């Protein structure tokens, strides 16, 4: 099992952030999980890290699609324009199963587009699958 994965998760729903954090912790012995409820703050941090050459980027960025301040597709477009989608895995985790959103996200460099599961056990299973992207 993968250990030591550095994960950034961006979702405006703090309940989803907490539940996903627990699922990643149940899925792996050692994860570094950082939650952001404001997508512009997460984007600014990722861009600042890249510009400064300072801290390394995360191994995995999990983005919600539907957020009020800046949606996940907009965040992904910004990352794609700056070349950052080539530096770490990006996964869209959303309640939206819209094929056009999925197609656009994959075109912009997302490694996967997944619908949020309804049950915690399914979320833990999904977290285990996502951790393979950290290898």
pLDDT over threshold 90, residue 72: yes
What is the pLDDT, as a whole number, of residue 69? 86
* Assessment of whether the complete model's pTM goes beyond 0.85: yes
Lowest mean pLDDT among 11-15, 76-80, 93-97, 116-120: 93-97
Q: 13-41: string of b/e by CB count within 10 Å (b at 16+)?
A: eeebbeebbebbeebbeebebebbbebee
Distance CA 29, CA 72 (A): 28
CATH numbers and ranges of domains, the chain: 5-134 (3.40.50.2300)
What is the pLDDT, as a whole number, of residue 54? 65
């Amino acid at each position: 099992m993968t250990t030591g994965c550095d994960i950034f998760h961006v979702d405006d729903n703090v309940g989803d952030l907490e539940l996903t954090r627990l699922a990643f912790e149940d899925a792996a012995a050692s994860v570094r999980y950082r939650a952001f409820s404001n997508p512009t703050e997460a984007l600014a941090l990722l861009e600042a890290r890249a510009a400064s050459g300072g801290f390394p980027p995360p191994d995995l960025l999990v983005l919600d699609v539907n957020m009020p301040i800046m949606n996940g597709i907009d965040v992904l477009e910004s990352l794609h324009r700056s070349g950052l989608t080539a530096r770490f895995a990006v996964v869209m985790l959303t309640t939206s199963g819209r094929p056009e959103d999925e197609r656009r996200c994959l075109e912009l460099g997302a490694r996967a587009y997944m619908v949020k599961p309804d049950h915690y056990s399914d979320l833990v299973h999904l977290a285990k699958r996502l951790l393979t992207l950290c290898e």
